[in-house]
Amino acid sequence: MSDRARTALAFGVIIGILLIWTFLNRPAQRTGITEQVAEDTITQQPAVPAEEPAPVTEDTIVIERPRIRVVLSNYGGSVSSFYLKDYEIDIVPPGRRLFVSPLEDSQQDQLHASYTVTDDSVTFRFTHENSMIEKTYHFDNDHGFSIRIASGNSAQILNLRSGLNITETRNPADDMRNFNVYVKNEKLENVTKNIKEAFTYVGKLGWFALRTKYFVLAVDNNAGIDTVWFYKLSEDVEAVEKTSASFGCYYMGGAKNRYGAAIKGRGDIDITVRLMPMDNELLAQYNKGYEEINSGGFWGPISKVIMGILNFMYSILKNYGFAIMIFALLIKLVFFPLSRQMILSQHKMQLVQPELKKIQQKYKDDPQRLNQEMMHLYKTYKVNPLSGCLPLLIQMPIFFALFRTLTTSIEFRQANFLFWITDLSLKDPYYVLPISMGVMMVVQSLTTTIDPRQRLMVIFMPIVMVWIFIGLPSGLQLYWFTYNILTLIEHFVTKRGGLK
């Protein structure tokens, strides 16, 4: 196999795996609760009625806690703001409310409540058909609150129709690509793909969760939930797409929808609500299985190891950008024996090219003899034409696990590096890193390619790789940029007989 064919093969492998990766990382199909679905039933339902406008005389109560700030409203005893202080985000969309309380048989008459406030709770009181209904918020956990509704035998709906806010305003389309809906009983189920317009979950329920890219709102069913409606909110997709144009292939796939929910129950309802970052250590602390939301799928185990290494480096360097660069150096050192073998193999293939061309010309009409002579030539010069691809294939799992780590881990959200790179979770705003990476790939190829017929491939491949990388987060661009610098140094040293 010629250098040109081998290079084309390597290029095809990279592109093919990237396309497979994009396909596999579409919003997941339901898995894990197939049997339970048959028992508990998920069916399509009419959309939950929209919220009515809030009254002009709306009263609000502000609750301050170390990690959260919650603003409650007497409009349906609802939550008009749920602010996570450590990350400076409000999960409630502007002008909207969550956990609004209508009565099922009187949804047009929102419950405008009186209320009392104590040190750790707020109680709203509604009167319906001469019955007093109490809805109490207890601020009993660091990341949220519990809601208890005492309603006799009245049917209640807690309306989360507004869905979750888009928190990543600098890249809203990417945020919406990661919006998902989960249901947990014995197993965790991602029900996102089943929400065409609206669906109903009926039966046993441990908790359900609405997720954005970096945050999750989890609702535990302590008692009283009979049904949960889930439904799609697509009204802002067009506006988001207009403000999220991107180069490269990174933002081409995946859904761009927000999702809402509504809880239905009869009698007393008791739920616990938590707003948490997608931090595995924090999610696991509650022993509820929240961390399964962020399992990472096939690449999850490798991704966790990578994140552990990066966190350790960050504890020393205090900069995730430098941690990524050191990680690239470690990967290069680990794979140096294989990389060196690849470089030497490329050099040997270049040396045998004249003889190989003679054989191809001489036996062009006899494929069987041509193959025999080529194998004899490779054996004589101790050349394996496929050995150059092996290091690339071995590193692919690490690369894709690193891709997932750098594109979804909250540690890189708004993480500053140097100069113009102020957020490693976003692409390079000036495209310096991907373009520099492409230039170095050209230089590297020109220093290792002697066949003039490969010049077009030398130029074409870096352009394609730049197109792929130009829309990726700058953290991943920084890794590949650093890795290419190290590879260039490695070629220089190896070809001059160093590090034998």
CA distance 141 to 339: 51
Residue 140 burial (CB count, 10 A): 11
Q: 3-class secondary structure for 36-58?
A: HHHHHCEEECCCCCCCCCCCCCC
Per-residue model confidence (pLDDT) at position 271 = 94
Contact 349, 385 (CB under 8 A): yes
Residue/partner pairs of 357-366 with CB below 8 Å, 24 or more apart: none
Contact 422, 320 (CB under 8 A): no
pLDDT tens across 312-362, in order?
999 999 999 999 999 999 988 888 777 766 666 666 676 777 777 787 777
Per-residue model confidence (pLDDT) at position 44 = 42
Per-residue model confidence (pLDDT) at position 169 = 86
Say whether pLDDT at 365 is over 80. Answer: no
CA distance 294 to 22: 18
Closest CA relative to residue 138, chosen from 123, 152, 124, 126: 123
Give me the residues paired with residue 157 across strands.
264
Per-residue model confidence (pLDDT) at position 30 = 37
Per-residue model confidence (pLDDT) at position 36 = 35
Q: What's the gap between Cα 355 and its chain centre? A: 50
Closest CA relative to residue 26, chosen from 167, 190, 164: 190
The residue-averaged pLDDT of 64-87 equals 93
CA distance 306 to 411: 13
Q: And the tokens for 10?
A: 């390597």
Say whether pLDDT at 66 is over 90. Answer: yes
| DSSP codes of every residue in 78-130 | EEEEEEETTTTEE-SPTT--BSB--BTTBTTS--B-EEEE-SSEEEEEEEETT
Q: And the tokens for 76?
A: 């349906």
Say whether pLDDT at 151 is over 90. Answer: no
Q: What's the gap between Cα 468 and its chain centre? A: 18
CA distance 64 to 24: 42
Q: And the tokens for 22?
A: 């994009």
Mean pLDDT over each residue of the chain, to the nearest integer: 78
Q: And the tokens for 256?
A: 């761009």
Calculate the CA dihedral of residues 232, 233, 237, 239 and round it to 10 degrees.
180
CA distance 174 to 495: 43
Who has greater pLDDT, 105 or 415?
A: 415
Per-residue model confidence (pLDDT) at position 31 = 34
The three-point CA angle 22-24-30 to 5° equals 135
Least confident of 12-21, 138-147, 251-260: 12-21
Per-residue model confidence (pLDDT) at position 452 = 56
Per-residue model confidence (pLDDT) at position 327 = 93
Q: What's the gap between Cα 340 and its chain centre? A: 34
Query: What is the maximum span of the chain, computed from C-alpha positions, in angstroms?
Result: 101
Per-residue model confidence (pLDDT) at position 3 = 45
For tokens 């929808």, name the residue: 257
Closest CA relative to residue 7, chosen from 433, 478, 446, 486: 446
CA distance 265 to 155: 6
> How far is the first Cα of the chain from the last one, in angstroms, to the nearest whole number?
26
Per-residue model confidence (pLDDT) at position 206 = 92
The residue-averaged pLDDT of 433-450 equals 75
Give me the residues paired with residue 208 across strands.
183, 219
Contact 324, 359 (CB under 8 A): no
Contact 218, 276 (CB under 8 A): yes
Q: What's the gap between Cα 78 and its chain centre? A: 30
Give me the residues paired with residue 90 across strands.
83
CA distance 374 to 357: 10
Q: Please give the helix or strand (H or E) that residue 139 lies within, else none.
A: strand 131-141
306-320 burial code (b ≥16 CB/10 A, e <16): bbebbeebbeeeebb
Q: Please give the helix or strand (H or E) that residue 408 lies within, else none.
A: helix 390-408
As a whole number of Å, the CA-based R_g of the chain is: 29
Per-residue model confidence (pLDDT) at position 172 = 86
Helix axis angle, 390-408 relative to 320-334, nearest 10°? 160
Per-residue model confidence (pLDDT) at position 384 = 67
The answer to pTM > 0.85 is no
Q: And the tokens for 419?
A: 């100069």
